[in-house]
Amino acid sequence: MEEKLKEEKIKITPQRREIIRRLEELEKTHPSFNQIYQSIKETQPNVSRSTVHDNLKLLVERGIIRSFNYKGETRYEMSPEPHVNLVECNGEIVDIKNQNIHKKLDEIIAILKDEENIKIKSLLVLVEK
């Protein structure tokens, strides 16, 4: 992840390093802003909400991480690749890792580009169980 920051010419600060570390720890849970912030507060009690928010925003803008909204809450994930997120009955969000689904998503992207002249920045499919 730090390589991506270097490629994007983003300075690696202790706060950014901790945000990335926490994102990697919480990756499978698609954490909300509050979950990330509370997790960081455990080791850096003086970090401000705005510092965490601004850094997450920068990482999203540069395409290093991705954000999406679910039920009024912004969630974050490390995977920039098109994929399906499944919301379980308990509210947990998990990635579906299925090659056939990935092929179909690639087909959808190609159709949108070739037939609808839409350049796709990202594709996220959210399915509730």
Q: What is the pLDDT along the chain (129 residues), one digit of tens a residue?
A: 778 888 888 888 888 889 989 999 998 889 999 999 999 999 889 999 999 999 999 999 988 899 999 989 999 998 878 889 999 988 889 999 899 999 999 999 999 999 999 988 888 899 998
Task: Quote the pTM value.
Answer: 0.83
Q: What are phi and psi for residue 96, nearest 5 degrees?
A: -90, 120
User: How far is it, in rounded angstroms, from Cα 14 to Cα 99?
Assistant: 37
User: How far is it, in rounded angstroms, from Cα 20 to Cα 33?
Assistant: 13
pLDDT given for residue 8 in this prediction: 83
pLDDT given for residue 81 in this prediction: 82
Q: What does the radius of gyration of the chain's CA atoms come to, in whole angstroms?
A: 16
For the chain, what percentages of helix, strand and coil (3-state, to nearest 5) are there? 50, 20, 35
pLDDT given for residue 53 in this prediction: 96
pLDDT given for residue 118 in this prediction: 94
Contact indicator for 37, 49 with CB cutoff of 8 Å: yes
Please write the tens of the pLDDT for every residue from 72-92: 999 999 887 888 999 998 888
